[in-house]
Amino acid sequence: MNIGVSLTSREEIEVHRFSWPVSLLFPILALLIQSYLPLKMGFLRIFDLPLLVTIFFAVARRRPVPGMITGALIGTLQDALTHHPLGIFGIAKTIIGYLASSLGVKVDVDNPGSRFLMTFAFFIIHHIAYMVIDLGLVGASEPWQWGHTLIQALANGFLAVALFAVLDRFKLRN
Amino acid sequence: MENFFSRYKNPLVLMLVLFIQVVGLATQVKRAESAKNAAGAGSGGGPRLIRVWTVSIITPFEKAFTSTGHFFRGTWHNYIDLHDARKENRDLQEQLARMKMEQIRLREESAATARLQNLLDFKQRYIGQTVAAQVIGTSGADQSRVIYIDKGSHSGIKVDMPVITPDGIVGKVKEVFKFTSQVLLVNDHDSGAGVVLQNSRLQGVLSGTPQGQLVVTRVMSDEKIDIGERVVTTGHDGIYPKGVPVGVVTKSVPDVENDPFLRITIKPAANLDKLEEVLVVTSIAEESPSSTAGTGPQRAADILAQRLPSAKQEDKPGDQGATATPTPAASPAVTPRPKPVAPPQGTGTPGTGAPATATPRTAVPVTKPQGTAATGTATPATSGTGAPGTAASATASPAIKKSPDQKKPASTGMPTGTPVPGSTPKAPSATGSPSPNSTTSKTGATSTKGTAPSANPAGAKLSGASTKVGVAGTKVGEAGTKSGAAAEKKKGPPKPKATPTPAATDAAPAETPETKKPEPDATPTPPPTGESLLP
């Protein structure tokens, strides 16, 4: 149990742990669902389940190094399913993992409102990071679509509230 | 120092992880560029291994989901939903009767077209073999429009093979694993294909947008585009077979990024958001059209429409295979042209259909301009502009051009008039001087777009002919274009004559004694494509 400087009303910030099967299974499950469901319902492509899982684990563990490693691994696996070079999602999710775990130390991220706002903001940051890498390193020429990105961020924010509530049940209590 | 590391441990680790990933990314980008320059493909080494592992973890579950879904759906359709079968059977029989009548008419038209194309020595690209596959997954990312299919190198899939459905074009194989493959959809930002508008015959480049739309670019803005016009593949890109439906035009606006061009939005013919079964074209046969009715070339979509419903049965090795017999040349007067043998399907060795592309063009009889050929001059009256859509060049250059491959001595197969290798093509018709062997020919009449009437049917590399008959003469046309341009350079500016010059009409008849038209009732020559694809 860690004690940190916090902007929350609670004096103690809990550092949650997860069992190994949960830590392995949920990222893979997120990738699997993300890969399979758009086949049946194309609009589900706007969700980014691997990103939500990254945010959840990073925030719950509240340790930057495991958070960024989680993000890097999930992002790299996500890259492997695309036709792009490996590392674009990996770098973006590494940054998100780091930021989310750093934020989790300082801010109460257990209530639905803050979860929504946090996911909304992280989605946009993730998208910006992705675009910067894609344009700067890979040399792609994808135009910026603010409207689409905002809709995606909103949708992911709402989904995060529901998903995090489900994932909370898998936290190990001391 | 130790205090520094412990104090800034987290940012330092972040920098390290990011640095490693950036280096890895840069290495892949560099390698991809090198591979592109060296005409290679695929990613190797570590990234490839990570992809293999990831796909190996994810796709078995996706296959299981897909199989389960198909099981329940099949159960529903096979056992519960049978009460509609009788009515459906009656409807289908009526439809079959109508289709038979339609088929008779189309067969006649197809035979006529094939005869004309045979006259012009067109090479067409047909679908040689296909492998049916189930779509089991996607990339899941909005930025990468790829799907995964349940067939891989084990089933003979290779990189860059086209993927289609009976409705239309889907994409091409991007990565191949042992039991799965990654297919890049045509509506991805990185995709591209050569397409032609079916009625206006305008050619353009098909590509995807980040929003997943299909657009055709590189069409001049002064062209009139009809909304609803169908778009099909040209077969010129070296990936997709000719004539596969792409979609219909929904919008046409000036392209702000490329000023003189249009940006034509296409509604895809295939439902790219909800793909279930696809066909991977494992070989494309390049073949001269048969002149015989009924056994003539079939359109890709027609063949596919027959195939897909029975995809599971046909996928078994041996089921798909139907070896086409080598066919003699349609015309007895034409030097026998060995036709390719389509290999049996499902053998897992795609690309063995390659012989189909190797139809020896050296056996194609060319015009016999005895007088000129004997002096080492290239065969006159053979226009080289074969590129479709270059009607203007053909119109402006009634002069005779010669394609390089027609200079080959072996190509004539004639004792007399063997051209001297390296001989400079002449352009006698530019002067309008009649050839010694002059008779009249109406071969050029097949061209409808203001093309100068063709001089030589055997030298079918006529731009007008290409434009009229379609884009069948893919490679031939390209070669013809080059040689045509070369000849044009040599002879200087073209004479502004659209009418056939006497010499232009000369050469075609000169060949009539030697190279006769294929007779309509010639021995049936089943093309390997059609035969091998028919169930």
Greater confidence, B278 or B448?
B278
> B11: which 2 tokens?
């940012």
Domain carrying residue B9: 2-37
Q: Is B62 on the interface with A (CB under 8 A)?
A: yes
Please tell me the predicted confidence (pLDDT) of residue B273: 85
Report how far residue B163's alpha carbon sits from residue B171's, in angstroms, rounded to the nearest whole number. 5
B138: nearest CB among A35, A64, A87: A35
φ and ψ at B120, to 5 degrees? Answer: -90, 0
> Tokens 């997709």 map to which residue?
B240
pLDDT attached to residue B36: 66
Residue B379 CA to residue A156 CA, distance in Å, equals: 69
> What phi and psi, each to the nearest 5 degrees, are found at residue A141?
-130, 55
CB contact under 8 A, A64 and B10: yes
Q: What is d(CA B183, CA B441) in angstroms, rounded to the nearest whole number?
A: 48
Q: Residue B185 has what pLDDT?
A: 94
> Per the domain annotation, does B129 fall within a domain?
no
Quote the mean pLDDT of chain A. 86
Share of chain B above pLDDT 90, in %: 16
Would you say residue B533 lies in a domain?
no
Residue A27 and residue B296: Cα distance in Å, rounded? 54
pLDDT at B308: 58
Neighbours of B108 (CB within 10 A): 12
What digits encode the pLDDT tens for the residues A62-101? 889 999 999 999 999 999 999 888 999 999 999 999 999 9
Do A134 and B143 lie within an 8 Å CB cutoff?
Answer: yes
Please report where in the chains the tokens 């279930």 appear, as a residue: B276
Which of B186, B225, B224, B221 minimizes the C-alpha distance to B206? B186
Selected residue with higher pLDDT from B259 and B246: B246
How far does A3 lie from chain B, in Å, by closest CA? 17
Please tell me the predicted confidence (pLDDT) of residue B107: 87
Give yes or no for B141 touching A (CB within 8 A): yes
Are B17 and A68 in contact (CB < 8 Å)?
Answer: yes
**Band of pLDDT at residue B46, cut at 50, 70 and 90:** low
Q: What are B423's two structure tokens?
A: 């001989």
Residue B146: per-residue pLDDT: 93
pLDDT at residue A3 in the model: 42
* pLDDT of the residue at B294: 43
Sorting pLDDT into bands at 50, 70 and 90, what band is B45? low
B15 and chain A: CB distance < 8 Å anywhere? no
Helical (H) or strand (E) element with A20: helix A20-40
Residues 6+ apart with CB under 8 A from B106: none
Domain boundaries, chain A: 20-170
Q: Which of A34-38, B162-166, B294-298 has the lowest mean pLDDT?
A: B294-298
Amino acid identity for residue A159 in this structure: L
Of residues B111 and B492, which shows the higher confidence score?
Answer: B111
Q: Which residue has the higher pLDDT, B89 or B460?
A: B89
| Interatomic CA distance for residues B5 and B23, integer angstroms | 23
List phi, psi (to 5°) of B228: 95, -5
Tell me A157's DSSP state.
Answer: H
How many cross-chain Cβ pairs, A to B, lie less than 8 Å apart? 143
Whether A137 and B25 have beta carbons less than 8 Å apart is answered as yes
Q: Give B208's contacts in chain A (Cβ within 8 Å).
A: none
Over pLDDT 70: what percentage of chain B?
Answer: 48
Residue B471 lies in a domain: yes
Residue B410 lies in a domain: yes
Interchain proximity B43–A36, CB inside 8 Å: no
Beta carbons within 10 angstroms of residue B121's beta carbon: 24
Residues in chain A: 174
Q: Determine contact: B51 vs chain A, CB below 8 A.
A: yes
Supply A86's token pair.
């490996």
**Is the Cα dihedral B82, B85, B87, B91 positive or negative?**
positive
**Would an 8 Å CB–CB cutoff place B304 in contact with chain A?**
no
Q: Which residues contact B151 (CB under 8 A, 6 or more apart)?
A: B131, B133, B157, B179, B180, B181, B280
Query: Which residues of chain A are modeled with pLDDT < 70?
Result: 1-13, 173-174
Name residues 103-122 of chain B within 8 A of A (Cβ): none
Number of domains in chain B: 2
Residue B21 to residue A138, Cβ atoms within 8 A: no
Residue B323 has pLDDT above 50, yes or no: no
pLDDT of residue B490: 42
| Mean pLDDT, residues B250-272 | 87
Task: Tell me if residue B230 falls in helix, strand or coil.
Answer: strand
**Whether B28 and A46 lie within 8 Å, measured CB to CB:** no
Q: Which of A82, A91, A102 sits opposite B141 (nearest CB)?
A: A82
SS3 assignment, position B409: helix
Contacts of B287 (CB under 8 A, 6+ apart): B123, B124, B126, B297, B339, B340, B356, B359, B527, B528, B529
Nearest Cα residue to B50 out of A37, A77, A50: A77
Q: What is the 3-state secondary structure (H, E, C) of B345-374?
A: CCCCCCCCCHHHHHCCHHHCCCCCCHHHHH
